[in-house]
Amino acid sequence: FDTRTGDVERITTKNGLPNDVVYGVLADNDGRLWMSTNKGIARYDRKTKAFRDFTVSDGLQSNEFNRYAYCKDAKGWLWFGGVNGFNYFDPHDLVEDSTAVPIRITSVYSMNKPVLFGDPGSPLSKPAYLSSGMTIPHSANMVSFSFATMEFGAPSLHRYMYKLEGFDPDWVDAGTNNSAAYTNLDPGMYTFRVRGDNRDGIWDTVGTSFRLEILPPWWRTGWLYALCALALGGMVLLYIRVQRRQKKFLERTVQERTAQLSTAKERAEKSEQVKQQFLANMSHEIRTPMNAIVGMSNALRRDAPTDPGTRERYVDAIANSSENLLGIVNEILDLSKIEAGRLEMEKVGFAPGKILEDVISVMQYRAKEKGLVLSSRVDDAVPEALIGDPTRLRQVLMNLVGNAIKFTEKGSVEVNMEVAATVSVGDAAAGEMIGLRCTVTDTGIGIAPDRLARVFDEFMQAESDHTRRFGGTGLGLTICQRLIDMQGGTIGVESEVGKGSAFIIKIPYALGVADVEIGRRSVGADDHPPLRNLRILLVEDNKLNVMVAQVELDNAIPDVRIDVAANGQLALDMLQANTYDLILMDVQMPVMDGYEATRAIRALPSIKALTPILAMTANVLQAEVQQCMDAGMDGFIPKPFKQEVLVGAIRKAVR
């Protein structure tokens, strides 16, 4: 109650009074009100309207006071009585405590467990209140602190504020709560700072601090980052290097390709010239026998010679020219096979002496025609049997002997077969090897020394008039050389103009057991019972080929019956209606080709599916032969064929 103004102010616990029951109220000389309650004494400043409580912790006899027990004496001292006696004091003595109280961190917790400095492996080297900080792993990153001001009168009344530098942006007002907790802290350096106030609300400005270092997990450690950075750097460097190398490589490739292109261009131009020369030679070579064939057959038709001698001469000319023509075509085919790398060498047993014998007997006729003596000699040291490719040996010998006869006008041609002095040793697995040397010596026109090396070149002849004078394509020796090369052998020539030449070949062969059959390749019908009374389906679209086959079959097989189908589809229809002992199948035909027809026949749901089928084709490349076999054919007769070959193949198929 303000006596001057008459104002009444109602003050309760809401305004800060410790208790609503007040026993005594005294005003001191400064106008402040002192009130005794059951919860100590409260001082009220009417100007600031602030309370300050005093309790047992300030030295009161008890927190409980009694009514009527209070007074103010003449000196201005105040007296209050309570349940344990009384307190009296000069209100002037009770000044504010302006000294701040120090604060200490009393304990540190990690993962809800106290961190004790004495524990083994403890991050604290001193008790928490003496420690300046600690370092803990990332796995222990849940941390809390307890702290206290170093004034023990009324601990529960002290207030605190704290801040974790590196985490809290501002100071946190903790009230009277004396702990702070942090969960899931990131790795890094932190400083925990805490301050407290004293009994009179004076804050300690310094406070205390605690350094907290949380180590990064291994995957965020510096060295790992460094390693990653290094790896990244390495990769970048590698990338740059690879790029550079690639660039260089590209540049080099471009250069190489450019160089290759220009040489390829030159080569193409050169090969174009060679091709032109080749075509010129070929057309000449082909036209020469063709001329004989066309001329002689015209003469035969026109004159119809009744004299058997004349007729035979005409027909012989036609036959010889045809053989010649076939030889040329075969040479070209051989060379193209060699060039394409499609020629495979056989490895079979054969008798080398027999091969030479065969070659001589075939060539004897031609030699005799020219009045030459053709002889051969096989050295005793030459083994009975060797392993290798007999066909190619025969081909080479035929070629050399053929040339020798061609380029010799009088005298002799002699072939010698012996074992080369130098034994060429092949791979160990092949067993014992010998070098077989054959020398073809003639007494012919000879070759000039400066032309010797060139005779093995494609389309090359020792003298430019040789084609005109002797015929020939200039391919024979090229083929010989390639064939011998492929077998690991050598070919050479010694010659003197006007005296003669000697061609020497040397080929390594493994020793083996002769398969005389292969050596001879004979298909003679003599040792077999004759074929008769066969029913044959001839599938062929070319009328002339049909004619040739019919004539040969009629001649070779008594009572043969031949049906002709012009394509695969017709053949299939005819096979459904009739039964045949054999089918001769052309490969390239309209409507349905030979491969397809064969597959269709093999798929028939009757016994007719097993009818033997022989391919008859002018396609003689190994791949095509294989294709015939794959389609289900039983054999292969290359066109043009000789009667013995045709009959031999039929005999084998119908057996």
Decide whether 324 or 501 has the Cβ nearer to ligand ADP. 501
CB 129 within 8 A of CB 105: yes
Sign, Cα dihedral of 195, 200, 201, 203: negative
Is 462 a binding residue for ligand ADP by CB under 6 A? The answer is: yes
Decide whether 134 or 396 has the Cβ nearer to ligand ADP. 396
Which among 211, 215, 184 is positioned nearest to 125, based on CA atoms?
Answer: 211
Interacting span for ligand ADP (CB under 6 A) from 91-99, 125-133, 318-326, 462-470: 462-470
Decide whether 455 or 582 has the Cβ nearer to ligand ADP. 455
Supply the minimum distance, in Å, between the C-beta of residue 268 and ligand ADP.
24
Decide whether 355 or 445 has the Cβ nearer to ligand ADP. 445
- Count of residues in the chain: 655
Is 466 a binding residue for ligand ADP by CB under 6 A? The answer is: yes
Decide whether 446 or 508 has the Cβ nearer to ligand ADP. 446
Is 447 a binding residue for ligand ADP by CB under 6 A? The answer is: yes
Supply the minimum distance, in Å, between the C-beta of residue 371 and ligand ADP.
17
Interacting span for ligand ADP (CB under 6 A) from 163-171, 183-191, 423-431, 467-475: 467-475
d(CA 188, CA 211): 11
Residue whose pair of structure tokens reads 């040329």 in the numeric block: 328
The tokens describing 205, both together, are 């400005």
Find the binder of ligand ADP among 18, 40, 207, 444 (CB under 6 A).
Answer: 444
Is 324 a binding residue for ligand ADP by CB under 6 A? The answer is: no
Binding mask 468-497 for ligand ADP (x = CB under 6 A): ----xxxxxxx-------------------
Residue nearest to ligand ADP (CB): 472
Decide whether 110 or 501 has the Cβ nearer to ligand ADP. 501
CB 481 within 8 A of CB 488: no
Which among 606, 611, 607, 655 is positioned nearest to 633, based on CA atoms?
Answer: 611
* Residue 120 CB burial class (10 angstroms; 0-12, 13-18, ≥19): exposed
Supply the minimum distance, in Å, between the C-beta of residue 273 and ligand ADP.
19
Decide whether 17 or 417 has the Cβ nearer to ligand ADP. 417
CA atoms within 13 A on the CB side of 579: 4
359-378: contacts with ligand ADP (CB under 6 A): none
d(CA 138, CA 120): 19
d(CA 90, CA 59): 14
Q: What is the DSSP letter of 196?
A: E
Supply the minimum distance, in Å, between the C-beta of residue 325 and ligand ADP.
14
Binding mask 593-632 for ligand ADP (x = CB under 6 A): ----------------------------------------
Supply the minimum distance, in Å, between the C-beta of residue 440 and ligand ADP.
7
Cα distances from 201 to residues 99, 176, 195, 537, in angstroms, run 10, 12, 12, 128
Supply the minimum distance, in Å, between the C-beta of residue 495 and ligand ADP.
7
Find the binder of ligand ADP among 318, 445, 549, 592 (CB under 6 A).
Answer: 445
Supply the minimum distance, in Å, between the C-beta of residue 414 and ligand ADP.
12
d(CA 207, CA 200): 17
Supply the minimum distance, in Å, between the C-beta of residue 474 and ligand ADP.
4
Decide whether 7 or 450 has the Cβ nearer to ligand ADP. 450
Report the first-to-last Cα separation within the chain, whole angstroms: 148
Helix runs in 562-641, H state only: 568-577, 594-602, 622-631
Decide whether 16 or 471 has the Cβ nearer to ligand ADP. 471
Interacting span for ligand ADP (CB under 6 A) from 139-147, 190-198, 294-302, 460-468: 460-468
The tokens describing 247, both together, are 């660039």
d(CA 592, CA 576): 16
CB 521 within 8 A of CB 496: no
Beta bridge partners of 44: 33, 51
E strands, 246-372, where? 348-350
Supply the minimum distance, in Å, between the C-beta of residue 410 and ligand ADP.
14
Interacting span for ligand ADP (CB under 6 A) from 114-122, 388-396, 461-469, 535-543: 461-469
Beta bridge partners of 34: 26, 43
Decide whether 39 or 454 has the Cβ nearer to ligand ADP. 454
The region that residue 362 occupies, defined by phi over 0 for left and psi between -120 and 50 for alpha, beta otherwise, is alpha
Decide whether 432 or 457 has the Cβ nearer to ligand ADP. 457
Amino acid type, 314: Y
Decide whether 481 or 617 has the Cβ nearer to ligand ADP. 481
* Residue 363 CB burial class (10 angstroms; 0-12, 13-18, ≥19): buried
Is 328 a binding residue for ligand ADP by CB under 6 A? The answer is: no
Is 395 a binding residue for ligand ADP by CB under 6 A? The answer is: no
- Residue 357, SS3? helix
Find the binder of ligand ADP among 210, 407, 509, 595 (CB under 6 A).
Answer: 407
Interacting span for ligand ADP (CB under 6 A) from 465-473, 567-575, 598-606, 618-626: 465-473
291-320: contacts with ligand ADP (CB under 6 A): none
Is 455 a binding residue for ligand ADP by CB under 6 A? The answer is: yes
Cα distances from 29 to residues 24, 32, 35, 90, 333, in angstroms, run 16, 7, 15, 10, 142
Find the binder of ligand ADP among 293, 404, 553, 589 (CB under 6 A).
Answer: 404
Question: Total residues at the site for ligand ADP (CB under 6 A)?
Answer: 21
Supply the minimum distance, in Å, between the C-beta of residue 384 and ligand ADP.
29
Find the binder of ligand ADP among 36, 63, 395, 403 (CB under 6 A).
Answer: 403
Interacting span for ligand ADP (CB under 6 A) from 29-37, 177-185, 457-465, 612-620: 457-465
d(CA 553, CA 559): 10
Is 398 a binding residue for ligand ADP by CB under 6 A? The answer is: no
Cα distances from 279 to residues 236, 285, 440, in angstroms, run 60, 9, 30
Beta bridge partners of 53: 42
Amino acid type, 160: Y
Supply the minimum distance, in Å, between the C-beta of residue 478 and ligand ADP.
6
d(CA 178, CA 159): 8
Amino acid type, 247: K
Is 439 a binding residue for ligand ADP by CB under 6 A? The answer is: no
Supply the minimum distance, in Å, between the C-beta of residue 338 and ligand ADP.
14
Amino acid type, 262: S
Cα distances from 166 to residues 146, 186, 359, in angstroms, run 19, 10, 106
Decide whether 386 or 438 has the Cβ nearer to ligand ADP. 438
d(CA 441, CA 412): 8
Find the binder of ligand ADP among 501, 567, 598, 611 (CB under 6 A).
Answer: 501
Site residues, ligand ADP (CB under 6 A): 403-404, 407, 442, 444-447, 455, 461-463, 466, 472-478, 501
